[in-house]
Amino acid sequence: MTHLKDEKGYALVTVLLIIVVFMVISLSFMGQSLNSVKQNRVVENNYQSVALAEMGISYYQLAVRNAYLSNQEGIVSQIQHQLETDRRNRVENTSEYYTGLIVSLMKQAIQSSLENEHQTLKIENRPDATYIIQDVNITSESNDIIITFTSLGEEEDETSKLSAEMKIPIKDLGSTDGEGSGSDPSNASTLPDFNQIQEPKGLPDRCKNPPVIYDSCSEIFLAGSGAFSSNHNNLDDKLLYAKGALILGGNANNMSNTQIHTDGSLSMGKNMNNARNVFIEVKGATSFGGQLRMDRSRVFVGGSMSVAGHLEVEDKSIIYVGGSAAVSKHLSIGSNSKMCVAGNLGASQLDIDGELYVKGSVSGKVKSGQVTHVNHAEFEKNCGVPNSSAELTVEWGDIVNKVEYSY
């Protein structure tokens, strides 16, 4: 009987062993389950960080695209303006030269636009979710603009990095030259449109309608007409823009690198000697109360022009007069300069070593050279064709995107 009682103790040990085994198995399953949950959370966080990095790529690609599209019209306008200026000055550049300018201007425009973009953005309602744009680099190669950058997506402790490259090709540049009356495209120039000097923008108040023009303002804007008395000698590196008429009293000698625009008439009180690199465009009539001696300068007049003294056009200078021109004393045109008069021309004496084209009559003694009388077609051929017949065309390429993943 005692032996049977001892066997009951073995049964208790067996039960305890079974319980221990089941507990070990249960704990093992629980551990594996916890590891799986942890791994899934890591994978999910990694996936979220990749998605955030992709959001950054898409955001910046859209910003580049918007900058590219929004600046196209303005850049074409700038290049058109430069092309017309070069034609007026008989400066010949290749299409590759202007294409290079377009690439450079677009590169600067995109860079300027991207400087205003946020490069670190947090996702709303997700305080630990962020994407960061960094390592932005804008270069050019041949006619291509290349933009590279990286996007970091961060979610809790996980970070994913994507690298992107965008290529913008400028495919082709061309222009349609006016065929007016047998003009030679290689020497094509354009008639003045009297809007080549651009109206200054964003000036401080002291530079708008000032009482004097000898101050620190390099650019001066007159909302209407303006009159400034006394002498204006050594008026250098200035831009005077008047929406009405402009009167400059006294002498204006030794002026250099100055631009003057008026929507009305222009009156210069006395002499304007030694004008160098000066550009004057007047939509109305122009009168000079004394002599006008100009080097490497341009005077474009929409109406009539009168000079009370001598008129000397030297050293690659150009004068265009849309009406008649009257010179009280001698008219002298240097060998590499030109004057075009759409109306009649009168001078006491004419010394023509350069080019003089006149549509109307000519009065005065021709001492040297010759006056070229032209009809309308010949006038356009030698003095220029209307701007509308020379339009710039640019074939803008499509953006090519490339993204590289690295985890």
pLDDT digits (tens, 9 = 90+) for 39-71: 445 444 456 777 888 888 888 889 899 999 999
Backbone angles phi, psi at 30, to 5 degrees: -65, -40
397 shares its domain with 377 = no
Find residue 161's DSSP bridge partners.
152, 406
All residues at 6 or more sequence positions from 262 whose CB lies less than 8 Å from its CB, including other chains: 242, 244, 245, 246, 281, 282, 283, 284
Q: Specify the DSSP element, H or E, that contains 12.
A: helix 2-70
Whole-number mean pLDDT of the chain? 82
Is residue 235 located within the same domain as residue 345?
Answer: yes
CB 165 within 8 A of CB 145: no
For residue range 192-219, what is the model confidence (pLDDT) as tens digits?
A: 778 888 899 889 999 999 888 877 789 9
Number of domains into which the chain is organized: 2
> With contact defined as beta carbons under 8 Å apart, do 363 and 345 qualify?
yes
**Is 148 contained in some domain?**
yes
In the chain, count H helices and then E strands: 4, 26
Q: Are residues 121 and 77 in the same domain?
A: yes
Claim to verify: residue 156 and residue 289 sit in the same structural domain: no
Q: What would the mean pLDDT of 144-168 be, rounded to a whole number?
A: 87
* Per-residue b or e along 327-353, where b marks 16 or more CB atoms closer than 10 Å to that residue's CB: bbebbbbbeebbbbbbbbbbbeebbbe
* 119 confidence band (pLDDT: 50, 70, 90): confident
330 and 399 share one domain: no
For residues 308 and 376, membership in a common domain is answered with yes
Residue 96 neighbours by CB under 8 Å, 6+ apart: none
H-helix or E-strand containing 72?
helix 72-88
**Which structural domain, as residue segments, surrounds residue 209?**
205-386
Q: Identify whether residues 283 and 381 lie together within a single domain.
A: yes
Q: Are residues 367 and 398 in the same domain?
A: no
Q: Say which range, 65-69, 155-159, 177-181, 222-226, has the weakest mean pLDDT.
A: 177-181
Are 219 and 361 part of one and the same domain? yes
- Quick: pLDDT tens for 388-399: 444 567 888 888
Amino acid at 33: S
- Residues 243-255 have a mean pLDDT of 91
User: Quick check: 376 and 151 in contact, CB under 8 A?
Assistant: no
Residue 218 domain-assigned?
A: yes
Average pLDDT over residues 248-276: 92
Q: What are phi and psi of 366, to 5 degrees?
A: -90, 105
Strands 259-262, 298-301: pairing is unpaired
Most confident of 111-115, 119-123, 394-398: 111-115
> Which H or E run contains 3?
helix 2-70
Do 226 and 294 share a structural domain? yes
